[in-house]
Amino acid sequence: MQLTLEFGGGLELLCDSKKIHNVNVEQQNGEDKLTMKGLLSWVKTNLIKERPEMFMKGDTVRPGVLVLVNDCDWELSGQLSTLLEEKDVVVFISTLHGG
Amino acid sequence: MACNGAGGCQSGCYKDEEPTSDQPTASSETDSRSSSNLCIKCKLNDAISGYGGIDDGRFCADCFKSNLFGKFRFAVTSNAMISPTDKVLVAFSGGPSSRVALQFVHDMQERAHKNFEASRDRSLPVFGVGVVFIDETAVLPIPSHEMEEAVEVINLIVSSLSPPRKELHLVPIETVYSSDSTDGKERLIELMNAVSDPTGREDMLLCLRMLALQKVASEFGYNRIVLGSCISRIAAHVVSATVKGQGYSLPADIQYVDARWEIPVVLPLRDCFAQEINMFCWLDSLKTIKLSTGPSSSINSLVSSFVALLQEENPSRESTIVRTAGKLIPFHFNRIPEIVDGNVPLATRRRQKRYNLKSNESVSSESFCLLCNSPLDKSEIVDWSNHKNCKNSDTFYTSCCSSCQFQILPPDSTSMEKFYMHLPHSVVSRANQANNGNLKALREQIQDCLLSDGEEET
Amino acid sequence: MEGKRSKVRMCCLCNQSRASLNRPKTLQQICRDCFYLSFENEIHQLIIDNHLFTPGDRVAIGASGGKDSTVLAYVLSKLNRVHNYGLNLFLLSVDEGITGYRDDSLETVHRNQVQFGLPLKVVSYKDLYGWTMDEIVKLIGLKNNCTFCGVFRRQALDRGAAFLKADKLVTGHNADDIAETVLLNILRGDIARLSRCSSIITGEDGPIPRCKPFKYTYEKEIVMYAYFKRLDYFSTECIYSPNAYRGFAREFIKDLERIRPRAILDIIKSGENFRISTNTKMPEQGTCERCGYISSQKWCKACVLLDGLNRGLPKLGIGRSRPGIGCKEENESRGVKSIESKQCGSLDF
């Protein structure tokens, strides 16, 4: 599945300082549906190059990290159980920075 | 000239401050060799260590134990918690804190008893001690075999703390309903099920627990309730009350004495750390009980882990938290009311005066949440003139604090009505008292303008 | 969930557009436009209810280029226009002289100046104190450098504001910051700060009063606002701060927010309702003999630190020489977690 992933608020530092990633996510376990939960573990394995604890806590994102799926708060679409579709844009923003 | 950084420097020094004055300083002895430290008190035996807390590694086993008992005794005497004519009820959960509280109360009573036996005129009576254990299996998922074992252990413990003999009261939590109806257990379960917030459920249970304690104390003639709450527990309460928006009422729950109840509640272990208490139990092989109450996803448990984590990083954290909260103004009910009873020995009354305890002023200057009994802050106090024709349940709702309204009480009027019906009578009757109190206060205000019957207007 | 994604939810306020976010404060599911309106109106109401400004006020906006100050500058200038506050707004930035970090964030502020049409003034540590942070770190290393920076920054904002004849200073401290500060002050035993930290205006008896219009604004909402409006902000950790830590207290607040979002506001409410015993000894306010800044000691902290630097005794004014105290700094330079999230003291207001 082709997806565009964006990292902001400092999270880009965890993935080689690259903010935007165009990725192709392979489904695991032969499932044909990709949920946010699946995507998160894929991201953790494939994109996060350092300090994974700044991005995830347990099987969800660390408290303080906002997640938007197609510019919509993932809390509205079920958080981890949000279903992803081809060409979706997922944005991760860390709120934990000084301002 | 260097800023000593005691937190007041306006120029922005922010350093992580521990006020220097009342902080125990590491003595030179402990600085030198960390392996074999001599007890700083008796200087004879090796100090014990590894249990945490600010005194870790300073005392030998005996001095440690006497130091801990000393803290207990100081709290009791300086707050006039227990007088010779008192009948004291110790709330026993089986956990280490209440076990130590029970032990120390017994030790004190035993000593008084020996003195009584030894004295010629036997003028000073010995205070009475009872023990209460609340069985909460009706609302908590405690396996029945665990409870049976626990009861056996408790019976053994209480009977071993004799002489002087202590009565043991084993009461189920549904006892709060026993004077209202026979289906107390069902009503209790219905009540608890109506609370969906996990933190709300835990706090509701705490309210009911206190109600049960008050009931037992009142029924059996006790005039003091002893809780084993230690610094660690109080530190966690400071943080969790802050987190629930209870900054106004927080000081009420963390003092040595809480006399807002019919039977005043005292906290003699308020200066002791959980770590010390655990060490004491280990040293004296005191049996304790831990009941499996299931996992908790409440704010209370999040806070407990947070505080425990901080305490590990910095052994003086808990005491700093409690000391900070100690600088908040306590309420007038946070002291033992002066005894006007002529039977009380002069020495006791003199002691009260010496520690500057004033007489109990009228309680009506504070309004209290009808459910949890916390003093209400200005924004929570209701203007009764607008609430004449409301349902009793709605009136009850508006007379509760905002924390109870949010986490315990149902949000809509219909569910609230059902909830209200399931409340024990002792809670509901508070509403009537409050109302009557308000009417009385209102009448007093307009007294001068009222014409008495028979008087004519000119 | 089979087939298509779950049904699209409509905004619960206008019911016309698709809901874009779940407001943590109210748990409402609302669309972007309703969000902007609610967000801006709440701040407007706060400003009015608390009489933060008077028409004609010269107001300095503490601008670091980060999310809070960028959104603050944007919203304040918008409200000023829309509601005719009649304020003279300008951006005030502090240049600590940290190569690579501050240069970039200052660039952001310069861009904001253009984007929002607000004049900008930059005050540097070099100008004010004769030292840049780079120079200080060269001298004292990575231990205690945050102490210097925090003290200097606070004064720099005040001095910069005074130099520009500002009547008020506004900072972007948000609800999460204030909640964290209330907790920290309880944890650290700082009763003096505890009594002040939840006030919306502080320092009224000092050189320049400071206000926090974002006092009840959730950090999450600030980020959402900035994201949806595509506002330009800078977000990298200061290069001198230890890596990979987030204070215990902030972590706790985030965990708390997850269980009960309103807890953040409840902490602030508690802070407002604390009544400090009058028996408690509070430090007296005086002025520094050397520079005239407010201080409860003979010399203000900045002067003490500067004196140390200039005399080649950089330890002067750092902590106390007691065992155990130095450990905190040790831990920080090794990257071990501390209790607060911002070592630089920017949570001190």
Domain ranges of chain C: 35-278, 281-338
Class of C35-278 in CATH: alpha beta
Q: pLDDT value at position A97? A: 66
pLDDT at B4: 32
Q: Do chains A and B touch by CB distance (3+ pairs < 8 Å)?
A: no
Omega of the bond prior to B164 within 30 degrees of 0, cis? yes
What lies within 8 Å, CB to CB, of B77 at 6+ separation is B351
Chains touching B (3+ CB pairs < 8 Å): C
- Percent of chain B scoring above 90 in pLDDT: 63
| 8-state DSSP, C18 | B
The whole-number average pLDDT for the span B119-138 is: 91
pTM of the model: 0.87
Q: How far apart are CA C4 and CA C2, in angstroms?
A: 6
User: Is position C333 annotated in a ligand binding site?
Assistant: no
Q: How close B412 gets to chain C, by Cα (Å)?
A: 17
Cβ contact, residue pair A10, C224, below 8 Å: no
Q: What is the pLDDT of residues B94-105, one digit of tens each?
A: 999 999 999 999
Among A32-36, A91-95, B111-115, the range scoring the smallest mean pLDDT is A32-36
Q: Best-predicted range by mean pLDDT among A12-26, B146-160, C112-126? A: B146-160
Is residue C19 a contact partner of residue C30, using CB atoms and an 8 Å limit? Answer: yes
C341 in contact with chain A, both atoms CB, cutoff 8 A? yes
Amino acid at B160: S
Confidence of residue A30 (pLDDT cuts 50, 70, 90): low
| Candidate from B8, B243, B317 with C-beta closest to C266 | B243
- What is the distance between the alpha carbons of residues A96 and B231, in angstroms, rounded to a whole number? 32
Cis peptide before B96 (omega within 30 of 0): no
Nearest chain B Cα distance for residue C144, angstroms: 10
Angle (deg, nearest 10), helices B96-118 and B274-283: 60
* Angle value at C-alpha C260, between A70 and B273, nearest 5 degrees: 140
> Integer distance in angstroms from the first to the last C-alpha of chain C?
49
Query: Per mean pLDDT, which range of B216-230, B400-414, C306-320 is the poorest?
Result: C306-320
CB contact under 8 A, C223 and A63: no
For C56, counting Cβ atoms within 10 Å of its Cβ (0-12 exposed, 13-18 middle, 19+ buried), the class is: exposed
User: In A, which residues are within 8 Å of C21 by CB distance?
Assistant: 72-73, 75-76
Which DSSP category does B150 fall into? H
Strand, helix or coil for residue A64: coil
Known binding residue C63? Answer is yes
Position C62 scores a pLDDT of 92
> Dihedrals φ, ψ of C146, to 5°?
-65, -30
Contacts of C156 (CB under 8 A, 6+ apart): C94, C123, C125, C128
Does residue C152 contact residue C159 with C-beta atoms inside 8 Å?
Answer: no
Report helix, strand or coil for A96.
Answer: coil
pLDDT at residue number C153: 83
Pick the residue with more confidence: C295 or B333?
B333
- In a mutational test of the C interface, the residue from B242, B309, B331 whose CB has the highest number of chain C CBs within 10 Å is B242
The overall average pLDDT reported for chain B is 84
pLDDT at B19: 38
Phi, psi of C124 (to 5 degrees): -110, 150
Query: Which DSSP state fits C341?
Result: S
| Residue B296: pLDDT over 50 | yes
Q: How far is C62 from chain B (nearest CA, A)?
A: 16
The CATH number given to whatever domain includes residue A31 is 3.10.20.30
Half-sphere exposure of B339 (CA within 13 A, CB side): 21
The total of structural domains in chain A comes to 1
Percent pLDDT > 70 in chain A is 94
| pLDDT by residue, tens only, chain C of 349 residues | 344 455 678 899 999 899 999 998 888 999 999 999 999 999 999 999 999 999 999 999 999 888 999 999 999 999 999 999 999 999 999 888 888 777 778 888 899 899 899 999 999 888 888 888 888 888 887 777 777 887 888 888 888 898 889 999 999 999 999 999 999 999 999 888 898 888 999 888 777 899 999 999 999 999 999 999 999 888 766 655 554 345 888 889 999 999 999 999 999 999 999 999 877 777 777 888 888 777 778 888 888 888 888 887 766 666 643 333 333 433 444 445 677 777 676 776 6
Q: The tokens of B40 are what?
A: 């700083």
pLDDT at C227 (0 to 100): 93
Residue B179 has pLDDT above 90, yes or no: no
For residue C74, with 0-12 CB atoms within 10 Å meaning exposed, 13-18 middle and 19 or more buried, which class applies? Answer: buried
- Among the partner-chain residues B9, B16, B26, the one whose CB lies closest to the CB of C301 is B9
Inform me whether the C-beta atom of residue C68 falls under 8 Å from chain A C-beta atoms. yes
Q: Does the annotation place C94 within a ligand binding site?
A: yes
Residue of A nearest to C29 (CA): A76
- List the domains of chain B with CATH numbers: 62-338+350-361 (3.40.50.620), 378-439 (no CATH)
Residue B110 has pLDDT above 50, yes or no: yes
pLDDT for C332 equals: 42
Q: Is A93 on the interface with C (CB under 8 A)?
A: yes
Q: Is the pLDDT assigned to residue B256 strictly greater than 70?
A: yes
pLDDT at B20 over 60: no
User: Chain B residues with CB inside 8 Å of C280's CB?
Assistant: 327
> Is C64 a known ligand-binding residue?
yes
Average pLDDT over residues B372-385: 86
CA angle C301, C304, C309 (to 5 degrees): 125
pLDDT (0 to 100) of residue C102:
72
The number of C-beta contacts closer than 8 angstroms across A and C is 95
Categorize the per-residue pLDDT at B387 as very low, low, confident or very high, splitting at 50, 70 and 90: low
pLDDT of residue B442: 63
Rounded mean pLDDT, B367-388 = 85
Tell me the nearest-neighbour CA distance from B317 into chain C, angstroms: 7
Is residue A99 in some structural domain?
no
Q: Do A98 and C64 touch (CB under 8 A)?
A: yes
Is C150 in Cβ contact with B242 (below 8 Å)?
Answer: no
**B357 pLDDT band (50/70/90 cuts)?**
very low
| A98/C219 CB distance under 8 A | no
More confident residue, C236 or A59: A59
Smallest CA–CA distance from A17 into chain C, residue:
C236
Helices B274-283, B231-243: axis angle to 10 degrees equals 150
> Does residue A46 lie in a domain region?
yes
Residue C73 known to bind ligand: no
Which range of residues forms the domain containing residue A34? 2-94
